[in-house]
Amino acid sequence: MKGYLHLENGESFEGTFSPHGAKAVTNGEIVFYTGMTGYQEVLTDPSYKNQIIVFTYPLIGNYGINEFDFESKEPHVAGVIIYETKDAYSHYNAKFSLKQYLEKWNIPLLTHVDTRAVVKRIRTEGTMQAVISDSSFVEVPSLSESTNPVGEVTSKEWQTFGTGDTHIVLVDFGYKKSILQSLLANGCKVTVVPYTTSFEKIKEILPNGIVLSNGPGDPKELNDHLPNIKQLIEYYPTLAICLGHQLVALSLGGDTKKLKFGHRGANQPVADLFTNKVYITSQNHSYVVDEDSLKETGLQARFKNCNDNSIEGLSHTTLPILTVQFHPEAHPGPSESSWVFDEFIANNCTVRREKIYA
């Protein structure tokens, strides 16, 4: 059946609608992802909560959906827009087609859309609200003033994984499973806690370090939690990823701003200013740290994006803080920055273990 993508600017694009039990009208912020693969990880990444994803690669779904590469227990996207997908899939581990998986979770799929034209419009005018519908005319609602997508994806209770000597608290703003797996692979014991957990409660379990996870939305929506984050990062060695990176900057007096259309893909080049090496990274974010706001914070740029020179990570002049805007856990896409976990654990957590509780 015919379906339509309606943009906030008044434009509409026609395609083939596959609602498979989903709502006839679905709205969200429209963004695009440039990776050729990794669609399973994208769909289940909590950072995409309530967003409509346009995949730029023309054929999505050819290797199917397996039971191993989920980043969370369910998909978080509001809708999916691609040029073409097939019911058949080729990978030996696959259990479902892309269509079958979206149908299971009642997520609308719009195919045979001119995705190049849609992406060009987003690049020209920026991310905006959009609606997927079976109707040729739908009014696009404005973005709600008071949203808290982090509250929708965070853990509801504490969970502990692993038995390593280095105890890490993973503060959950919408963490990806592969972050947890990377910490466990480095021999850590990991306790996952909701983002609302207080400094005092975390201190009771005597961790050696803190990881602030990725997550969805505008970091300034979490301004009420900045004093607690500041206590944590000034007391414990800290690794912060994506949203966590932005929250570190805000908590120490920095500022963030929204990019026109964000960085979403598995091929973003990032330069390490300390080593002069360049890494190809996986990214998913709309907001960045404003470098001009860091002058009195003690923070300094450690990584920068080679395409637009935006900040991709920070270090602190006196505190054992390492932050990255990209995803070192590399799901989806390249694993060459996974050493970030090694540096954090070996240079920060292990060395300072005795100092924290001396």
Q: For residue 27, give the CATH number of its domain.
A: 3.50.30.20
Phi, psi at 83, each rounded to 5°: -80, -45
Residue 279 has pLDDT above 50, yes or no: yes
Better pLDDT: 63 or 145: 63
Whether residue 123 is found in the same domain as residue 255: no
Closest CA to 15 of 97, 133, 120: 133
Residue 239: which H helix or E strand, with range?
strand 238-241
How far is Cα 122 from Cα 266, in angstroms, rounded to an integer?
Answer: 19
Shared domain for 210 and 86, answered yes or no, is: no
Same domain, 112 and 86: yes
Q: So what's the pLDDT on residue 59?
A: 95
Residue 191 lies in a domain: yes
- Active-site annotation holder among 242, 291, 316, 331: 242
Residue 140 domain flag: no
Residues 105 and 24 in one domain: yes
Q: Closest Cα partner for 337 from 237, 248, 241?
A: 241
User: Residue 22 above 90 pLDDT?
Assistant: no
Give residue 181's domain range.
151-356
Residue of 263, 285, 327, 331 with catalytic role? 327
What pLDDT was estimated at residue 57? 96
* Nearest Cα residue to 109 out of 216, 37, 6, 15: 15
Report the domain count for the chain. Answer: 2
State phi, psi for 332 to the nearest 5 degrees.
-85, 160
Query: In this structure, are 58 and 180 located in the same domain?
Result: no
Q: Residue 353: which pLDDT band, with cuts at 50, 70 and 90?
A: very low
Alpha helices, DSSP H, located in the chain: 39-43, 98-104, 115-125, 149-153, 177-185, 199-204, 226-235, 243-251, 339-343, 351-356
Looking at residue 141, what is its pLDDT? 84
pLDDT, greater one: 57 or 138: 57
Does one domain contain both 98 and 187?
no
Q: Among this protein's residues, is 327 annotated catalytic?
A: yes
pLDDT of 61 over the 60 cut: yes
Task: Give yes or no: 354 in active site.
Answer: no
User: Do 225 and 241 contact (CB within 8 A), yes or no?
Assistant: no
3-state secondary structure at position 145: coil
- Is 155 in the same domain as 129? no
Last residue of a domain, one of 133, 165, 200: 133
- Which pLDDT band holds residue 349 (cuts at 50, 70, 90)? confident
Hey, is 344 helix, strand or coil? Answer: helix
245 part of the active site: no
127 and 163 inside one domain: no
How many Å separate Cα 170 from the centre of its chain? 15
In this structure, is residue 218 part of a structural domain? yes
Separation between Cα atoms, residue 226 and residue 88, nearest integer Å: 48
Q: Is residue 267 part of a domain?
A: yes
Query: Residues with Cβ < 8 Å from 9, sequence gap 6 or more?
Result: 121, 125, 128
Residue of 8, 29, 41, 329 marked active site? 329
Which of 106, 133, 160 is the C-terminal boundary of a domain?
133
* Listed range (13-17, 134-138, 210-214, 221-225) with the worst mean pLDDT: 134-138
